[in-house]
């Protein structure tokens, strides 16, 4: 038998906890600190040279469908082009 005093609702949060945000009384502030840069699985390559990145690509991709080195040649051409663009890291270029 169901008791008549219950509403069968699950309270998601306490009332009044977020009222200030809903009413716009508290300004939301953005965190101005830069995001933490986590190194990738092969280390931090943001300031790595072209040949370092090509060497990592060989370890990652291996010789899978690339017996003649075309992938490394194309990657060198791309990175040489990107090196001429402004920016401190490869991601910025």
Answer with the residue of higher pLDDT: 46 or 6: 46
Token duo for residue 38: 């986590």
Number of domains forming the structure of the chain? 1
Average pLDDT over residues 38-65: 82
Assess if residue 79 is contained within a domain: yes
Assess if residue 59 is contained within a domain: yes
What's residue 25's pLDDT?
Answer: 59
Assess if residue 13 is contained within a domain: no
Query: Which tens digits make up the pLDDT trace of 37-46?
Result: 777 788 888 8
pTM for this entry: 0.53
User: What secondary structure, in 3-state letters, does the chain show?
Assistant: CCCCCCCCCCCCCCCCCCHHHHHCCCCCCCCCCCCCCCCECCECCCCCCHHHHHHHHHHHHCCCCCCCCHHHHHHHHHHHHHHCCCCCCCCCC
Task: Give 31's pLDDT tier (boundaries 50, 70, 90).
Answer: low
Q: Which domain holds residue 87?
A: 49-93
Assess if residue 91 is contained within a domain: yes
């Amino acid at each position: 038998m169901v008791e008549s005093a219950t509403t069968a609702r699950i309270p998601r949060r306490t009332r009044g906890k977020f009222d200030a945000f809903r009413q716009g009384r508290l300004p939301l502030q953005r965190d101005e600190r830069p995001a933490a840069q986590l190194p990738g699985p092969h280390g931090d390559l943001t300031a790595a040279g072209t040949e370092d990145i090509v060497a990592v690509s060989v370890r990652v991709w291996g010789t899978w469908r690339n017996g003649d080195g075309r992938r490394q040649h194309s990657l060198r051409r791309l990175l040489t082009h990107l090196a001429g663009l402004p920016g401190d890291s490869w991601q910025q270029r």
